[in-house]
Chain A
Amino acid sequence: MSAVDIIEIDDPPSRNPAPTRRRLLGGAGREAGALPYLLLIPTGLVLAAVIGYPLVQLVIMSLEKDGSSSKFTGTPFVGFAEYQKVLSDSVFWSSVERTVIFAGANVILSLLFGLGLALLMGRVSKSVKLILTVVLMFVWSVPTTVSTELFRWLFDAQYGVVDYVLGKVGLGSYAQHDWFADPNQGLQVASFIIIWGAIPFLTVTLSAGLAQIPKELLEAAKVDGASAWQAFRNVTYPFLKPLLVIVTTLSVIWDTGVFNQIYILRQTHPEPGYYTLGIYSYVKAFATIYGGDNYSYGAAMAIIMVLLMGVFMVGYIRQLLRIGQEG
């Protein structure tokens, strides 16, 4: 894997006839002194202030009895009591199960659609590409609060377009069908919204990645008689892999924490059958403004969620690290 066919640099300045071979910023594969740390400082500071410090607070709250409001200082330290309560809460575990299935399905489907569309964008003519792009940007720019409300109307049992169309095309049993009476079906509608909303991000990101693949390589593969799948497997995929890993990781994180698309779909009163972890922690803890340990309970639940997600994604994190070390 070491084919640098051509290196073209416009207007190569060649005033230095006998250059000492410096490596850019110390070069790869070498210890580079303090420079990389300096480069990481700005991001590190922002993350420490905005997420690190609050996260520490959250951990402290999760270990205290009355975390509902930090102005009540001196709240008793209760150790892992809240964690125990969360772990012995059957609703929590059923929410975990629901979240895993729900988020898993959403991640897989949205990635397939997103990647498919990104590949399609590379094959269609310019004008079709422009139309697709404008549509995707429109979809992307509609806030989930608005789009979820919109989908709720479309799937309304009495006056929704979906039931109307299904009724017209001969699926009479779906005329006036209530999509939300059965939570599993309601969650499928939520999935629909989530996937619809995720496609633009995935497509735009992945087509940016595809644009970086040298056309010569794909041409060569094609001329060489490689099938579309082989070309994808051997040329496209290796290039796209780092991006795929990151969009998958982010999709998992986002889809696990999905909130609006369920909360607003259920008109801000989600039934227990719709409890994913995001919804359950909100309904049970963060929406409550009164009460001894609700916030502590929520904090403990949030920490457990992070840990569960970490375990769940261990494979992906390893991938990230492996890719990261290649640099």
Chain B
Amino acid sequence: MKRKKLAALACATASVALVASACSSSSSSGSSNAGSSTSVLSTAGAGKTINVWIMTDAQKGWPDVVNQAVSRFEKATGAKVKINWTTWSGYTTKIQAAIQAGGANEPDVVEIGDTDTASFIANQELYDLTSAKSQFDNSSTWLKALTASSSSADGSKLYAVPYYAGDRMAIYRTDLFSKAGLSVPTTLDQLESDAAVLKAKAGDPSLVPYYVPGKDWYVALSFVFGAGGGIATDSGGKWTGTLESAASEQGLATWAKLEADSSTAGQTKDETDQDAVMAQGHTGLIFGAGWEASSVTAATGGGNPKLANDISTFAIPGTTAGTVTPTFLGGSDLAVPANAPNAALGAEFVKYYTDTTSETLLAKYAMPNNTTLMSTFEAGSSANKVAGQAAADSWFVPNTPAWTNVESQNVLQNMLESIATGKQSVDAAAKAADTQIATILNGS
């Protein structure tokens, strides 16, 4: 298995080199996006400036990655790169408005959250990269979920390039766990029963053993997938919600138990400030992204440096020892608007920004877009190691363009909150959500 992957990589890089040189020698004169294999990418950039929209995550987290990609790209193509930093707040509207208005101010490259990419693809708003796929480094080892999000629903066409990923793990207080005589749980049952032990023995009367916000669907749905359930299935183009299946409901019940036993005050909240909540010192464990482990102890933004030696991570265990609960693999894709002024050049920039050089650098800060570089990422920290291993077993949302509307209508959050607050039973809430999901996905 491993050998196969390596072989695939060798092939991929070789072909990249070949095609890239072929491309640069026959540099088609910036012809518009016809979609033929030679003109998908272009290096003829003299006198041109491309407009690149990237999220501020890069500006704050890995500006060096951006800088080196820009300078290599500018050297190779003669084009200039104008980076415009964007923020996640309302970004889909912003991108869509820009695409719709077109013209000279339209971006040539945009960053899109991976659960939103499918709808941009379905709206025919993205530039077709299919025939150039092999020219992107590591395209054969891109993370599965990210590749799926970047492709058309049937997987035959490529419209975006995976950029980076992220997943979730358990972040816990080592001091409290050892005080209570607990070690890292190896099964879900153990994780569940540890909460009571922690509460009883950690010696903090106001301790919340686990802080599980009631709206964190990324975590909650992990237990659904761990129990063998899922969100929805597609048969012959008709979607059916499967949250009411026995397996899914079992997963939801597991989550509900963790939520109810442990989280006294998070029923109506989401996960965005759980690191700051944990930093208050009265929380034994949260389920979060790797970076949250360090922001709990950071010296700014509500962190608590006193906890620096007391925070560690582990992968959320599965139902039996040795297995893990699959994690949601979120991430970002890079894409080129179909009607971008310099689409082929934009695609060329994406190539540089996601090539092995860039992604190797990026792996210091975030999970890279492919499995080949995962070891570099895992070497970075113990949290990275957990994250990288957890990514091997991940789940993703149903890959259909209408999915984004399930998210924007908060269907899953509403279901989870009504379970957490006890307004609805697991069964009733799951059934109600299934109905809504089916309505949205089948586009009535």
A159 CB within 8 Å of chain B: yes
Q: Interface range on chain B: under 10, 10 to 19, 20 to 34, or 35 or more?
A: 35 or more
**Chain A residues, CB < 8 A from B42:** none
B277 contacts the other chain (Cβ, under 8 Å)? yes
B408 contact from A181, A267, A272, A287, Cβ within 8 A: A287
A283-B410 contact given A159-B280, A288-B405, CB 8 Å threshold: yes
Question: Does B244 interact with chain A (Cβ within 8 Å)?
Answer: no
Residue among B119, B269, B404, B414 making CB contact with A272, cutoff 8 Å? B414
Question: Contacts A68-B123, A69-B100, A69-B123: A290 and B405 contacting too (C-beta < 8 A)?
Answer: yes
A283-B410, A289-B116, A290-B405 are contacts. A267–B92 as well, Cβ < 8 Å?
no
Q: Which one, A159, A271, A286, A289, contacts B417 given CB within 8 A? A: A271
Interface string of B251-294 (1 = CB under 8 A from A): 00000000000001111111010000100100000000000000
Are B123 and A269 in contact, CB atoms less than 8 angstroms apart? no
**Least CB distance, B331 to chain A, in whole angstroms:** 18
Q: Is B368 an interface residue when CB atoms closer than 8 A count as contact?
A: no
Q: Does B140 contact A (CB under 8 A)?
A: no
- Chain B residues with CB under 8 Å of A181's CB are 267-268, 421
Option from B264, B404, B421 in Cβ contact (under 8 Å) with A289: B404
Select from chain B the residue with minimum beta-carbon distance to A153.
B273
* Inter-subunit contact B265/A283 (CB<8 Å): no
> Chain A's nearest CB lies how many Å from the CB of B107?
15
Shortest Cβ distance from A176 into B: residue: B265
User: Could you tell me if B266 and A290 are in contact, using CB atoms closer than 8 angstroms?
Assistant: no
B443, A292: Cβ atoms under 8 Å? yes
Chain A residues with CB under 8 A of B122: 290
- In whole Å, how far is B333's beta carbon from the nearest beta carbon of chain A? 14
CB pair A158–B266 under 8 Å, yes or no, is: yes
Q: Are A289 and B119 in contact (CB under 8 A)?
A: yes
A-B Cβ contacts below 8 A, count: 81
Q: Which of A126-164 touch B at CB < 8 Å?
A: 156-159
Question: A270 on the interface (CB 8 Å rule)?
Answer: yes
Task: Check: B401 CB closer than 8 A to any chain A CB.
Answer: yes
Bound form: Cα–Cα A227–B339 in Å:
71
- Chain B residue nearest to A288 (CB atoms) is B405
Complex interface: chain A residues within 8 A of B208 (CB): 158
Tell me if B413 counts as interface (CB < 8 A to partner A): yes
A247-286 vs B, CB cutoff 8 Å, 1 = contact: the mask equals 0000000000000000000010111100000000001101
In the assembled complex, the Cα of A70 lies from the Cα of B96 at a distance in Å of: 11
Query: Distance in Å from the Cβ of A291 to the closest Cβ of chain B?
Result: 6
Of A71, A269, A284, A291, which one neighbours B402 at CB under 8 angstroms? Answer: A291
On whether the beta carbons of A158 and B401 are closer than 8 Å, the reply is no
Interface string of A46-76 (1 = CB under 8 A from B): 0000000000000000000000111100000
| B443 contacts across to A, CB distance below 8 A | 291-292
B168 to chain A minimum Cβ distance, whole angstroms, is 18
Q: How large is the interface on A (under 10, 10 to 19, 20 to 34, 35 or more residues)?
A: 20 to 34
Q: Does A99 contact B (CB under 8 A)?
A: no
Does B309 sit within 8 A of A, measured CB to CB? no
B105 within 8 A of A: no
Cα of A62 to Cα of B272 in the assembled complex, Å:
36
B215 within 8 A of A: yes
Chain A residues 177-204 with CB under 8 Å of chain B are: 178, 180-181
Which single member of B102, B264, B269 contacts A267 (CB below 8 Å)? B269
Shortest beta-carbon distance, B224 to chain A, in Å?
19
Q: How far is the CA of A158 from the CA of B123 in the complex (A)?
A: 43
Asked if A207 is at the interface (CB within 8 A of a chain B CB), the reply is no
Q: Which residues of B contact A284 (CB under 8 A)?
A: 409
* Chain A residue contacts of B267, Cβ below 8 A: 178, 181
Q: Which of A285-313 contact B (CB under 8 A)?
A: 286-292, 294
User: When the two chains form their complex, are residues A290 and B280 in contact, meaning their CB atoms are under 8 A apart?
Assistant: no
B-side contacts of A287, CB under 8 Å: 92-93, 408
**Are A269 and B410 within 8 A (Cβ)?**
yes
- A65-98 vs B, Cβ < 8 Å mask (1 yes, 0 no): 0001111000000000000000000000000000
**In the complex, what's the smallest C-beta–C-beta distance from B359 to chain A, in angstroms?**
28
| 0 or 1 for each of B118-131: is its CB under 8 Å from A? (1 = yes) | 11101101000000
Q: What A residues does B270 contact at CB under 8 A? A: 267, 269
Asked if residues B265 and A178 are in contact (CB atoms below 8 Å), the reply is yes
Given contacts A69-B123, A267-B269, A269-B413, contact A290 B402 (CB under 8 A): yes
- Which of A70, A283, A289 meets B120, CB within 8 Å? A289
Bound form: Cα–Cα A221–B76 in Å: 83
**Which residue on B lies nearest to A287, using beta carbons?**
B408
A188 CA to B96 CA in the complex, in Å?
35
Chain B: minimal CB distance from A297 (Å) = 11
Indicate if the CB atoms of A283 and B264 lie closer than 8 Å: no
Tell me the minimal C-beta distance from B126 to chain A in angstroms: 12
| Cross-chain contact B268 with A178 (CB below 8 angstroms) | yes
Q: Across the interface, do A158 and B417 meet the contact criterion of CB distance under 8 Å?
A: no
Q: Are A157 and B421 in contact (CB under 8 A)?
A: no
Q: Is the CB of A271 within 8 A of B410?
A: yes
Q: Which residues of the other chain, B, contact A68 by a CB distance below 8 angstroms?
A: 123
Contact B93 A289, beta carbon cutoff 8 Å: yes
Cβ contacts under 8 Å, B404 to chain A: 288-290
- Name the interface residues of B384-404: CB closer than 8 Å to any CB of A: 401-402, 404
C-alpha gap A291/B277 in the complex (Å) = 38
Chain A residue at minimum C-beta to C-beta distance from B217: A269
A158, B264: Cβ atoms under 8 Å?
A: yes
B118 and chain A: residue at smallest CB distance: A290
Q: Are B408 and A288 in contact (CB under 8 A)?
A: yes
Q: Nearest 4 pairs between A and B by C-beta?
A: A290-B119, A158-B265, A287-B408, A157-B265
A69-B100, A292-B443 provided; 13 other pairs, C-beta below 8 A? A71-B102, A158-B264, A158-B266, A159-B277, A271-B413, A271-B414, A271-B417, A287-B93, A288-B405, A289-B93, A289-B408, A290-B118, A291-B119
Subset of 12 A-B contacts with CB under 8 Å:
A156-B265, A157-B268, A158-B266, A176-B265, A178-B267, A267-B269, A267-B272, A271-B417, A288-B405, A289-B93, A289-B120, A290-B123
